[in-house]
Amino acid sequence: MEDCIIVGAGPAGLTAAIYLARFHLSIRLFDCGSSRAALIPRTNNHAGYPEGVAGTELLRLMLAQAERFGAVRETLEVKRIEPLSEGFAVHAGERTFPARAVLLATGVVNHRPDAIDDATHDAALKAGLLRYCPICDAYEVTDKRIGVIGTGDHGMREALFLRGYSADVTLIAPGAEHRLDADCRGQLDAAGIARIDGPCGDFRIEGERISVGTANGRMSFDTIYPALGSRIRSGLAVAAGARASADGCLEVDDHQRTSVPGLFAAGDVVKGLDQISHAMGEAGVAATTIRNMLAEQRPLWR
């Protein structure tokens, strides 16, 4: 039986792997290779990298650090986490792995605009013409022409946040028409944010800009932020009995414990700020709590 199985090798899972391996615990680290961090062309808000760092490079360095202490990243999708009277059975690939504790660090997946093909999407993301995280990178588009694809309260809040970076922000409805109540419309008007009906589609990269078809014809921007929400990859924990918010984010206590004893969660999959630093911090707390929980069950003396 492993001391702990970590599901997910993004910033949260890799941080936990470093801590747990250095606590001399036996761990397995399963991952299916879709970290959101791998989509970051260059992060400039992650402390310690004055010139910024590509997400893939950060993941490579973190994995190398975890491997230095004996952790091994196994490319395997976890299908089910089954709570037992003592510990868990983790079903991954064709096998079942017993563990005394499980840490879920499976992250989230951003919803993309419907009408964009993969090649255009990936090229636009790489060039900074398409962005998903204003907290992370709106600084880079200060005083630029910004489009936000979204509507309702969520679209409004993202557009208002970006108004702190540029006076030129346009909120484009993903579907045919905006769904904005009088209060939303009032707040957008007060901030001078233009509203354009959709449906938006036919995205094109045009030199250093991105253009999109709207009800008002083709519009061109320095960058576009889709504000379309995310799919929270919390299904494994919810199926095991863990409590989640209405949108699927896992609820944890101050020590990253879910409502299922022995099942922990860290990173984007947990309700809270979706940032690398936060994912790492939560993983450090989870790993230390796991270590102390296991030590209460039996001494971890050498």
Ligand X SMILES: Cc1cc2nc3c(=O)[nH]c(=O)nc-3n(C[C@H](O)[C@H](O)[C@H](O)COP(=O)(O)OP(=O)(O)OC[C@H]3O[C@@H](n4cnc5c(N)ncnc54)[C@H](O)[C@@H]3O)c2cc1C
Using CB under 6 A as the binding rule, whether residue 158 contacts ligand X is answered as no
Using CB under 6 A as the binding rule, whether residue 50 contacts ligand X is answered as no
Rounded distance between C-alpha atoms, residue 100 and residue 298, angstroms: 11
Question: Whose Cβ is closer to ligand X: residue 32's or residue 205's?
Answer: 32
Q: Which listed residue (274, 286, 291, 294) binds ligand X by CB under 6 A?
A: 274
Q: Tell me the HSE value of 112 on the side-chain side, using a 13 A CA sphere.
A: 14
Q: Which listed residue (19, 23, 88, 132) binds ligand X by CB under 6 A?
A: 132
Using CB under 6 A as the binding rule, whether residue 115 contacts ligand X is answered as no
> What is the dihedral sign for C-alpha 56, 62, 67, 73?
negative
Question: Whose Cβ is closer to ligand X: residue 33's or residue 50's?
Answer: 33
Q: Would you call 213 helix, strand, or coil by DSSP?
A: strand
Using CB under 6 A as the binding rule, whether residue 225 contacts ligand X is answered as no
Identify the residue whose tokens are 């761990």.
27
Rounded distance between C-alpha atoms, residue 255 and residue 135, angstroms: 25
Q: Which listed residue (6, 11, 225, 287) binds ligand X by CB under 6 A?
A: 11
285: closest CA among 272, 301, 302, 300? 272
Question: Whose Cβ is closer to ligand X: residue 214's or residue 223's?
Answer: 223
Question: Whose Cβ is closer to ligand X: residue 22's or residue 121's?
Answer: 121
Using CB under 6 A as the binding rule, whether residue 97 contacts ligand X is answered as no
User: Shortest Cβ distance from residue 110 to ligand X (Å)?
Assistant: 6
- Which spans in the chain are helix H? 11-22, 55-68, 118-126, 134-137, 152-163, 182-191, 235-239, 276-297
Interface residues with ligand X (CB under 6 A)? 7-13, 30-37, 39-40, 43, 45-46, 77-78, 105-107, 110, 132-133, 136-137, 233, 236, 267-268, 274-277, 279
